[in-house]
């Protein structure tokens, strides 16, 4: 993330327009672009890479054409164009164009010249140095050719994926400028000492291009919430294998936790000849996630966690090009549900993961390799490694991420080599997080399931729907799974009811939800679950609806996040608190009792508060003591309101229970 100030510069579509909220070294290209579908692939022959034809229409980037009724099912080539003008003070600077994601093939042209391709990687960021292609003091033509054709060279593979095939410039675009030395990434490796809550960091900086020169760096650490400066460091660093490395002791820190999402900032700048060449702002946090025996530990505490998965791109209004405000509503809905863990089948917008950091939700982010192919070709291995590299490099600092997933429900291959190689490849990129291989057949494959090659046992448990004859087989299947995984915990990574493939509606969804969560909770070695899913979702393989409304009805909300009755049921099941007593004591007081669950969920409550309005409508706040799983809390609410209404809130303000 580049340091942002304010200037007014930007060109839109085919005329020069100046935009607001830009910085001296970053210029957003979001907004109006020209756009045209190219179903016959005639663009190159007709020189569209130099200038789009007059038939092009205006769209707003981020954009996908698959939310347009006329092109809802279109998979193929399309073109985008924007006229851009370079600020005078950017002369003699390095200028890069940064795409947060283009699905899934992109070829970029500046003034009719190809500057680069990004192929078979539709959900990860990429950039090109376009300095030598630009003209100063005049308009420049930026053209992007985009292709979302189903492909056997891409992941997701052909039509073997259960989500939308939305094509386009689906995430933000910007120009970024720097001096001679340009930062590619700053990775912060926090180390939390649980004995005294102190923290140290190892910082690794990599530049674009090859550089073996010793450089001067300035590092400034801040508490993100308060903005308070913690430490600064000026240091000269000699690179080792192209990486500039330093270590720093930050002293006593506040760990990151889903109930206390404490964040820190590191601003890094490179100086050359007494001028700043480039800056970077990294947000990070301190946490420790471990598996010991049959338990999952977060910051030294054994926990059992409830979760849910969200399927992006499902609202037909936005498709996969979701605006930031909509992403915020998604994550807030998840927190309102009392869930604290999630997963994504494919790589997400950096802003979405930042929201997980901010609100406090643990994340497993995955390579989009779902069910097929059973074995990766050498070309697909390269695709997988490129996507893993781009994703981990860009999302490395997010404290919410605790695991990288390399596959989901792959069946048919008996060759474990591909899993071992990708697992080890990820470990080389990031040794600080788990690597998982998500399974849905552990109950059949047992000790032969490749899931066991990962760091964490997982199971997409659909006994009674997709698998098995009846849900009452679940206890026996869990016994089989336990024997297969041995002395380690299990995370249920999926369970839910998919309509119209399954019948029964939301009433059955609720009944099944209660049955399965009750059964999982009765096994202490099951460390949590991720229910599937938050929303009915758009998918190119949907059995219901047409065009942009083709969906699977699998959610506790609909495609527009309107809540079904099952939403409230899951919220109660995922709450860490049961209200066990509400009893009138006198005409003006009530006795209440709370019990902290010791099943799923199971974790210590710290900093929680109880609120109610008394008979004069004055807000009364009671700070609860720290409460461990199984603890109870009794109190008298004085001068209670006539309706006996009260609620219990997390330290972050989200309601966990109310009466």
Residues 236 and 154 in one domain: no
Residues 470 and 455 in one domain: yes
**Which domain range does residue 608 map to?**
577-658
Residue 6 falls inside a structural domain: no
Residues 336 and 358 in one domain: yes
Residues 134 and 87 in one domain: yes
The domain that holds 32 is classified in CATH as: 2.60.120.260
Residues 93 and 53 in one domain: yes
Q: What is the per-residue pLDDT across 301-356, written as a single tens digit (0 to 9) for each?
A: 999 999 999 999 999 999 999 999 999 999 999 999 999 999 999 999 999 999 99
Quick one: average pLDDT of 476-501?
97
Answer with the one of 178, 212, 240 that is the final residue of a domain. Answer: 178
- Residue closest to 27 by CA, chosen among 79, 81, 96: 96
Q: Is the pLDDT of residue 14 over 60?
A: no
Residues 435 and 562 in one domain: yes
Quick one: average pLDDT of 389-417?
95
The domain that holds 354 is classified in CATH as: 3.20.20.80
Q: Which ranges in 166-208 belong to alpha helices (H)?
A: none
Q: Is 186 left (phi over 0), alpha (psi -120 to 50) or beta?
A: beta
Q: Is the pLDDT of residue 7 over 80?
A: no
Q: What is the pLDDT of residue 551?
A: 97
Pick the range with the lowest mean pLDDT from 83-97, 116-130, 214-228. Answer: 83-97
Q: Is the pLDDT of residue 192 over 90?
A: yes
Answer with the one of 539, 574, 609 that is the final residue of a domain. Answer: 574
Answer with the one of 545, 574, 603 that is the final residue of a domain. Answer: 574
Residues 392 and 520 in one domain: yes
Q: What is the pLDDT of residue 4?
A: 33
Residues 458 and 529 in one domain: yes
Structural domain total, the chain: 4
Q: Is the pLDDT of residue 16 over 70?
A: no
Q: What is the pLDDT of residue 137?
A: 83
Count of C-beta atoms within a 10 Å radius of residue 626? 10
- How far, CA to CA in Å, does 192 sit from each of 100, 250, 251, 441? 31, 10, 10, 36
Q: What is the pLDDT of residue 556?
A: 98
Residues 280 and 316 in one domain: no
Q: What is the pLDDT of residue 23?
A: 53
Q: What is the pLDDT of residue 415?
A: 83
Q: Is the pLDDT of residue 18 over 60?
A: no
Residue 623 falls inside a structural domain: yes
Residues 582 and 569 in one domain: no
The domain that holds 625 is classified in CATH as: 2.60.40.10
Point out the catalytic residue in the list 494, 499, 519, 595.
Answer: 494
Residue 14 falls inside a structural domain: no
Residue 296 falls inside a structural domain: no
On average, the pLDDT of the chain sits at 95
Q: What is the per-residue pLDDT across 151-188, written as a single tens digit (0 to 9) for each?
A: 999 999 999 999 999 999 999 999 999 999 999 999 99
Residues 228 and 315 in one domain: no
Share of the chain above pLDDT 90, in %: 93
Residue 291 falls inside a structural domain: no
- Residue closest to 130 by CA, chosen among 103, 112, 146: 112
Residue 463 falls inside a structural domain: yes
Q: Is the pLDDT of residue 3 over 60?
A: no
Specify whether 494 is catalytic: yes
Quick one: average pLDDT of 101-110?
98
Q: Is the pLDDT of residue 412 over 90?
A: no
Residues 374 and 473 in one domain: yes
Residue 19 falls inside a structural domain: no
Share of the chain above pLDDT 70, in %: 96
- Residue closest to 183 by CA, chosen among 203, 216, 204, 207: 207
**Tokens, residue 203:** 């910082």
- How far, CA to CA in Å, does 627 sit from each of 171, 337, 607? 42, 20, 9
Residue 294 falls inside a structural domain: no
Please classify residue 511 by burial: count the beta carbons closer than 10 Å to its beta carbon, then call 0-12 exposed, 13-18 middle and 19+ buried.
middle
């Amino acid at each position: 993330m580049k340091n942002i100030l304010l200037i007014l510069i930007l060109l839109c579509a085919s005329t020069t327009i100046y935009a607001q909220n830009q910085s001296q070294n970053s210029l957003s290209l979001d907004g109006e672009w020209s756009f045209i579908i190219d179903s016959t692939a005639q663009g190159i022959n007709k020189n569209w890479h130099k200038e789009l034809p007059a038939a092009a229409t205006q769209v707003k980037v981020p954009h996908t054409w698959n939310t347009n009724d006329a092109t809802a099912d279109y998979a193929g080539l399309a073109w985008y164009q924007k006229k851009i003008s370079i600020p005078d003070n950017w002369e003699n600077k390095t200028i890069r164009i940064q795409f947060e994601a283009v699905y899934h093939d992109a070829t970029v042209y500046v003034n009719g010249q190809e500057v680069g391709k990004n192929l078979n990687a539709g959900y990860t960021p990429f950039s090109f140095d376009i300095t030598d292609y630009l003209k100063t003091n005049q308009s420049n033509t930026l053209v992007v050719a985009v292709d979302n054709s189903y492909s056997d060279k891409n992941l997701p593979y052909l039509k073997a994926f259960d989500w939308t095939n939305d094509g386009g410039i689906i995430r933000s675009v910007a120009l970024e400028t720097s001096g001679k030395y340009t930062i590619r990434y700053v990775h912060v490796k926090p180390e939390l000492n649980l004995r005294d809550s102190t923290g140290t960091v190892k910082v690794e900086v990599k530049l674009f291009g090859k550089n073996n020169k010793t450089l001067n760096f300035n590092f400034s650490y801040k508490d993100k919430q308060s903005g308070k400066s913690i430490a600064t460091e000026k240091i000269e660093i000699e690179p080792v294998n192209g990486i500039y490395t330093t270590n720093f002791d930050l002293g006593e820190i506040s760990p990151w936790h889903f109930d206390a999402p404490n964040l820190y900032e590191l601003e890094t700048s490179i100086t050359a000849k007494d001028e700043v060449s480039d800056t970077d702002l990294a947000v990070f946090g301190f946490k420790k996630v471990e598996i010991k025996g049959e338990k999952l530990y977060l910051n030294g505490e054994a926990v059992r966690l409830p979760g849910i998965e969200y399927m992006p791109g499902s609202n037909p209004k936005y498709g996969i090009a979701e605006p930031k405000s909509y992403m915020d509503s998604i994550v807030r809905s998840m927190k309102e549900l009392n869930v604290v863990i999630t997963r994504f089948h494919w790589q997400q917008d950096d802003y979405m993961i930042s929201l997980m950091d901010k609100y406090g939700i643990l994340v497993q982010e995955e390579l989009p390799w779902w069910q097929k192919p059973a074995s990766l070709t050498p070309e697909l291995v390269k695709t997988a490694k490129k996507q893993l590299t781009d994703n981990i490099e860009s999302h490395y600092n997010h404290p919410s991420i605790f695991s990288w997933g390399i596959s989901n429900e792959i069946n048919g291959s008996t060759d474990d080599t591909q899993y071992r190689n990708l697992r080890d490849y990820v470990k080389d990129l990031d040794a600080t997080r788990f690597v998982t291989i998500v399974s849905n057949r552990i109950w059949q494959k047992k000790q032969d399931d490749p899931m066991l090659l990962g760091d964490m046992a997982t199971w997409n448990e659909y006994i009674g729907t997709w698998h098995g004859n009846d849900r009452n087989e679940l206890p026996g299947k869990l016994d089989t799974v336990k024997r297969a995984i041995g002395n380690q915990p299990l995370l249920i990574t999926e369970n839910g009811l998919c309509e119209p493939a399954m019948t029964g509606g939301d009433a059955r969804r609720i009944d099944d939800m209660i049955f399965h969560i009750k059964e999982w909770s009765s096994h202490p070695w099951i460390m949590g679950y991720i229910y599937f899913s938050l929303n009915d979702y758009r998918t190119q393989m949907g059995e219901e609806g047409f065009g942009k409304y083709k969906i699977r009805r699998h959610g506790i909300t609909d495609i527009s996040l309107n809540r079904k009755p099952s939403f409230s049921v899951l919220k109660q099941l995922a709450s860490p608190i049961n209200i066990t007593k509400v009893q009138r004591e006198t005409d003006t007081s009530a006795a209440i009792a709370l019990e902290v669950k010791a099943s799923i969920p199971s974790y210590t409550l710290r900093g929680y508060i109880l609120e109610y309005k008394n008979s004069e409508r004055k807000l009364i706040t009671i700070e609860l003591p720290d409460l461990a799983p199984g603890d109870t809390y009794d109190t008298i609410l004085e001068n209670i309101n006539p309706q006996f209404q009260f609620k219990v809130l997390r330290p972050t303000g989200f309601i966990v229970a109310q009466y």
